[in-house]
């Protein structure tokens, strides 16, 4: 619970920093949060899969499910996609949904591969 709260606070600060630094109609803050969270989840997963014993399994679970679960956000991503639909920004919706799924998956794989080859 504490890890999830800390992740949510980090999400808020990263999202605010990105949104203010790069104003755009695209939900760039949420995109950056979700992609960076996917990469971090890939790193932790890779550490577990490839036997890096730098943290106990319970710590990896707290980091993945607690902190990164609180850091990344499915619900905000979906609400922003609906807002784009309501604004008739179909290209933005497509880019947001498909782009986030593809890049998020690739970011997670990159994290796992990075650990594998270190």
Q: List, as residue ranges, the binding site for Na(+).
A: 69, 72
Closest by CA to 38, choosing from 101, 116, 86, 118, is 101
54-63: b (≥16 Cβ within 10 Å) or e: eeeeeebebb
Known binding-site positions: 69, 72
Place of tokens 């880019």: 95
């Amino acid at each position: 619970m504490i890890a999830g709260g800390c992740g949510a606070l980090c999400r808020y600060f990263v999202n605010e920093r990105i949104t203010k630094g790069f104003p755009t109609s695209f939900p760039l803050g949420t995109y950056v949060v979700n992609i960076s969270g996917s990469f971090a989840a890939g790193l932790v997963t890779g550490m577990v899969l490839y036997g890096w014993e730098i943290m106990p399994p319970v710590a990896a679970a707290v980091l993945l499910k607690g902190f990164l679960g609180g850091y990344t956000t499915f619900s905000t991503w979906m609400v922003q996609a609906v807002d784009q639909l309501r604004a008739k920004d179909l290209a933005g919706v497509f880019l947001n949904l498909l782009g986030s799924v593809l890049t998020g998956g690739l970011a997670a794989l990159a994290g796992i591969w990075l650990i594998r080859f270190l």
